[in-house]
Amino acid sequence: MTRDLHLNAVRPRAAQASRAALDSSAELASFTALTSTASLASSATPTSSTALASSAHESVRDAAATDRPTVWLVGAGPGDPDLLTLRAARALADADVVLCDDLVDRRVLELVRDGARVLHVGKRGGRASTDQAFIHRVMIREARRGQRVVRLKGGDPFVFGRGGEERDALQAAGIAVEVVPGLTSGIAAPAAIGISVTDRRHAAGVAFVTGHARKGGPGPDWQVLARSGLTLVIYMGVAHCGAIARQLQDAGLAATTAAAIIENGTRPDQRVVRTTLGKMARAIAATGIGSPAIMVIGDVARAADAAIRVTRSA
């Protein structure tokens, strides 16, 4: 039986704030009480006989064999478990502890071995989420205890995933970091409906930007982006689509510019809206499209075809 636990659900914000004041033994006891055992193993275990898979496997084992505490920052891909890398699958099969983000598809966790602990430390806009410093502390502590720790993140760990912050915190604590890149949703979700984010006939390149800037931090320069001629791939933008569309148009991007929004890209519940920049906000409101969604703005979005699916192996 799987008893995955959601740290974000059981730890409201006030509790997180006071958490920093706890001494480390109390924190560890509390953390231990919140751990769970993964029991969904074997059936979805990936091919182990190929040379590629076994070399990836070795790399995980090798790092552990050095005895240096190590954390693997692993990209879980956009959703469909078939889009996971072999190395990610191996890291999951080898892990003792998996700290898992909200966006990770449940089916990916079937690769975690029986007996390993899965901690849900998700972050979702508008909901109570696990304190980032707490995640750092748990990773550091478990790695120092000799546990093989996997930090599992949706898409790629270094694309809007705080992977850089986690790498810095781990390295500052003397923990070795292994990165397993993943397929980012900004490429995979458009591809799932036939959009090639670069296409030399339409765009000289692509800009991956956040639609939800950090409080007090710099947001994307929409004026510059509007004039750039690049395909715009916007993460975390649906809640702010009206303001984004307005700023891009104010900066000169035509209202007729093609736009596509992909919700739950590559998952069975994927939904797509094909529209234009001028109509985008109304279209999103009318369909109720919400997070997680990728917005693609630019001529390449004209190719959007909901009938195209990424190839599945089964």
225 to 284, contacts with ligand SAH by CB under 6 A? 235-236, 262, 264-267
Minimum separation from the CB atom of position 61 to ligand SAH (A): 26
CB nearer to ligand SAH: pick between 69 and 161: 161
Q: Is 81 in the site for ligand SAH (CB under 6 A)?
A: no
Angle at 221 between CA 156 and CA 191, to 5 degrees: 35
CB nearer to ligand SAH: pick between 35 and 198: 198
Q: Which of 131, 153, 156, 236 is catalytic?
A: 236
CB nearer to ligand SAH: pick between 141 and 167: 167
Minimum separation from the CB atom of position 194 to ligand SAH (A): 15
Cα–Cα dist 207/219, whole Å: 13
| Angle, helices 241-250/280-287, rounded to nearest 10 degrees | 170
147 to 206, contacts with ligand SAH by CB under 6 A? 153-156, 159-161, 184-185, 189
CB nearer to ligand SAH: pick between 180 and 294: 294
Of the ranges 13-21, 88-96, 218-226, 288-296, which one interacts with ligand SAH (CB under 6 A)?
288-296
Active site residue 199: no
* DSSP string of 131-185, one letter each residue: -HHHHHHHHHHHHHTT--EEEEESB-TTSSSSHHHHHHHHHHTT-EEEEE----H
Structure tokens at 219: 């947001």
Active site residue 123: yes
Residue with tokens 């006071």: 18
Minimum separation from the CB atom of position 260 to ligand SAH (A): 11
CB nearer to ligand SAH: pick between 64 and 280: 280
Q: Is 103 in the site for ligand SAH (CB under 6 A)?
A: yes
Among 293, 296, 304, 310, binds ligand SAH (CB under 6 A): 293
Cα–Cα dist 128/120, whole Å: 12
Of the ranges 27-35, 108-116, 285-293, 297-305, which one interacts with ligand SAH (CB under 6 A)?
285-293
Provide, for the chain, the percentages of residues in helix, strand and coil under a 3-state DSSP scheme, each rounded to the nearest 5. 40, 20, 40
Nearest to 233 by CA among 256, 212, 205, 209: 209
Active site residue 236: yes
CB nearer to ligand SAH: pick between 69 and 154: 154
Q: Which of 82, 123, 199, 299 is catalytic?
A: 123
**What are the CB-based long-range contacts (under 8 Å, 24+) for 253-256?**
253/226, 253/277, 253/297, 255/279
Q: Which of 101, 102, 131, 156 is catalytic?
A: 101
The neighbour count for residue 66, using CB atoms within 10 Å, is 9
CA atoms within 13 A on the CB side of 205: 5
Cα–Cα dist 157/180, whole Å: 8
Nearest to 73 by CA among 208, 165, 188, 210: 165
Minimum separation from the CB atom of position 107 to ligand SAH (A): 13
The set of catalytic residues is: 101, 123, 236
Q: Which residues contact ligand SAH by CB under 6 A?
A: 78-79, 103, 153-156, 159-161, 184-185, 189, 235-236, 262, 264-267, 291-294
